[in-house]
Amino acid sequence: MNKMRVKAFALVALMVLSTSLAVLDVSASNSKQYPVTRNPLDLATGDFDCDGDDDIVTASEMGNFLSILWNDNGNYQDRTDLWVSNNASRRAGFTDIADVGGVEVGDIDDDGQDDIVFYQGNIQVFGGTEVIRGNLTVLRNEDCAGTFSEDAVYTMGDIVWNFQIGDVNGDGVDDIVALELQDLASGTQRLSTYLGGSQRNNAATNHKITTLDNLANKVYADIRLGNFGEAVVGGPIGNDCDDLDAFLHFWPGFNAATGFSDGDWDNVSIVEFECTLDTFAAWNDPNKQHTIKLNSESGSFDIADEDNDGKIDTMAITNLTTVVLQSCAAAPCPSQSNWQQIAVSPTIGSFIPASVELQDVNQDGSIDLVVPTTSTITSLVGQSGNTVTSYSTDNLEDLNTVQIILSDGSRGYYQPQSMTVGRRPTMVLVGQ
């Protein structure tokens, strides 16, 4: 891939009855809408036909398909829908809805081709007692021919908060890490790791479970994988190994009867992966778990490696109309004192953000911000000098924006560039 080429943006526009995905060409400042299956909720990119161009796969929470948009020199007109309902019949009813809430791409079987992993949530029909358990399903890419076969189905707990794909143990093969609530009754939360490669379906050797803190104490809401930068004595190369650790965004504890406890909504727990044991460390190990506060009321978070040394040195969280950024001078940074908040939080404009993506958009070596927005904020100053703020519902009818906030290269940020997209986007993905 030519690193000097301007990147394009793909994002899901999610709203009731919304069935389109927008692709932004930043160099031309325009967007194109492509239809996908009903209620797209997540997307990922991968080169499924091995032509050197990234294709797009989308997940649908209210349908029975995954949609693949094939990249033809930047045009995504060709589309393939993959049937993923548990009912093989095309006459499947409402109770057979696949409820695909997440999708990721990686080479799980180590054959050099991008595979698809998707999550199906639990399904329970109103008034019924049967619960169809959620699962992670691996679809193996069949020789770049546009066909996929079911490789593995992993039964999950009550809720999978999120899952990520990456080479966690540094062996050169992609792995799957799921952050899940095993069951609401016990409050058991855990990291479920499925190591890829030739032994990927060997539960005894390649499936690892790491129990996390209980739901009553904290709610693990999201996960990112990245190299914390810790030294690992006894690693395979030079007494060290480059693995990926879990950055877990967590909220206050939750009780089904009383709701959320008092507490902060902006904490990130960094749980180190132990590559010598092929599993994550204990969540409460004081030497291998680190909690960092991001200093926001609440929001969506992301991580990045700004100096390109392979270690995470930047974290961000949305904070109403701004993005709070924390930076680490020299990773690893295990304590709060190692992280410094950027003095002036970049603004996203008069909008409420849905999420944030940290990427070097213009390839200048500095991390930029890409923020899809969901609501418009209007502020009026009265005669008394008081400011009245209202949240507009015009976005239910009008187009929304993705805000692109470029770094100035010296710890500051330019004013956001607004790119018009479909209605109420929920997430954004940067890719070529």
Render pLDDT for 341-389 as a digit per residue (tens, 0 to 9). 999 999 999 888 999 999 999 889 999 999 998 887 777 777 787 877 7
Q: What is the H or E stretch that residue 271 is in?
A: strand 267-271
Rounded to an integer, the average pLDDT of 409-430 is: 86
Element spanning 204, H or E: helix 203-206
**Residue 44 has which token pair?**
């990922």
pLDDT above 90: percentage of residues in the chain? 61
pTM of the model: 0.90
Q: Contact at 8 Å (CB) between 212 and 223?
A: no
DSSP state of 142: -
Least Cα distance to 270 among 204, 330, 224, 219 occurs for 224
Q: What is the pLDDT of residues 23-33, one digit of tens each?
A: 766 554 567 88
Of the CA atoms within 13 Å of residue 58, those in its CB half-sphere come to: 33
pLDDT of 4: 39
**Mean pLDDT, residues 5-15 taken together:** 50
Question: What pLDDT does 220 receive?
Answer: 98
The single-letter code of the amino acid at 60 is S
Q: For residues 402 and 1, give the distance between their C-alpha atoms in angstroms, rounded to a whole number.
A: 25
Q: What is the pLDDT of residues 272-330, one digit of tens each?
A: 999 888 999 999 999 999 999 999 998 999 999 999 999 999 999 999 889 999 999 99
Decide: residue 320, CB within 10 A, 0-12 exposed, 13-18 middle, 19+ buried. Answer: middle
What is the token pair recorded at 107? 């080479």
| Those residues with Cβ within 8 angstroms of residue 120's Cβ, 6 or more apart along the chain or in another chain | 84, 86, 98, 99, 100, 101, 134, 135, 137
